[in-house]
Amino acid sequence: MPSAQNLIDKFNDMKTLPHVAIRVTQLVGSESATMQEFEEIIRLDPVLVTHLLRLVNSPYFGLSSQVNSIAKAVVYIGMKHLRNLVAVEGLRNLYRDKAGGEIFSRKDLWFHSATVAILSQMISRRIFGEDGEDVFLAAIIHDIGLIIEDQLTGPELRQVCSEYHAREQGEPITVLEDTLIGTNHAKVGRLLATQWHLPEQVIEAIRFHHHHDKEFPIPSVIGILQLAEFMACKMHFGVVAGRCDPLPDYLAGHLKSKMADYKVLLKALPAEMAKAKELYDAEQERNE
């Protein structure tokens, strides 16, 4: 059976992820990176340039004058927002790559990831008063390991999903992955995020997002990610149709204590999805 490192090595050999997305993500984590370096890298991807300028000139930012240069666009949206944009842009085609099934599909996985990302950022901003850029990044890529497994161990992953779907409650999907594949998507995703030099709290959130037996600080990237994933699954935007892991007790207590605030947040979710459509394009993906 392959290890997480074996899968990452094979995935990297396939050169599936765009070079520009990887390089921009690494630059954001570098303290010595200059604006000129960002501009030179982004220019290599005409689709990203178009998307960047369209985004910065969209109602999402509400600027009074048109922005027509890459450098100005990066200044307006900020480094972390740029990092998240290229992560979304770089990953989107991976999730379109293969026809789906009834229990597991890449299209549903993309919509799950986008919904969890939007919810995570809303929770961070509205409940805890933080910017939410790191938790957004963690959420949008928290299941990237499933895409890698789907590319390299597709039949085994579908067996995992089928058995997981058949179980009403019990162990997380990662236990079945370890048994049938030899590793799991949290381990694979953590290794990829480490290679990308992402923030440590993002790496740890990917690593532990299925560890419901541990208690993490509130707020923290991992705690917010688990909350958002639970809420998305309850709205039937889960990874495997019909399955939703229980919320850890400490997060269930937090949710209960802030129930009024979370009800307001959920009512605002459709508007946030529409407002962020230029960035996430989640609704279009759902309707294709």
pLDDT, tens digit (0-9, with 9 covering 90-100), for 181-207: 999 999 999 998 898 878 899 999 999
What is the structure's pLDDT at 280? 46
Q: Where do the CATH 1.10.3210.10 domains begin and end in the chain?
A: 100-288
Cα-flanking dihedrals φ and ψ of residue 97, to 5°?
Answer: -70, -20
- Residue 235 reports pLDDT greater than 80: yes
What is the C-alpha R_g of the chain?
18
Per-residue confidence band for 277, with pLDDT thresholds at 50, 70 and 90: low
Chain segment 239-271, per-residue pLDDT in tens = 998 888 889 999 999 999 999 999 999 999 988
| Residues 228/222, Cβ–Cβ less than 8 Å | no
Query: What pLDDT is attached to residue 282?
Result: 42
The terminus-to-terminus CA distance of the chain in angstroms comes to 36
What is the band of 286 on the pLDDT scale with cuts at 50, 70, 90?
very low
pLDDT band at 86 (very low <50, low <70, confident <90, very high): confident
What letter would DSSP give residue 123? I
Neighbours of 260 (CB within 10 A): 8
- For residue 159, the model assigns a pLDDT of 95
Token pair listed for 30 = 């570098």
What does the alpha-carbon distance between residue 219 and residue 202 come to, in Å, rounded to a whole number?
A: 14
Give the domain 100-288 fold.
Hypothetical protein af1432 (1.10.3210)
pLDDT digits 0-9 by tens, 14-29: 766 667 777 887 787 7
Specify the pLDDT at position 281: 53
pLDDT at position 287 over 60: no
Query: What phi-psi label fits residue 5: left (phi over 0), alpha (psi between -120 and 50 degrees) or beta?
Result: alpha
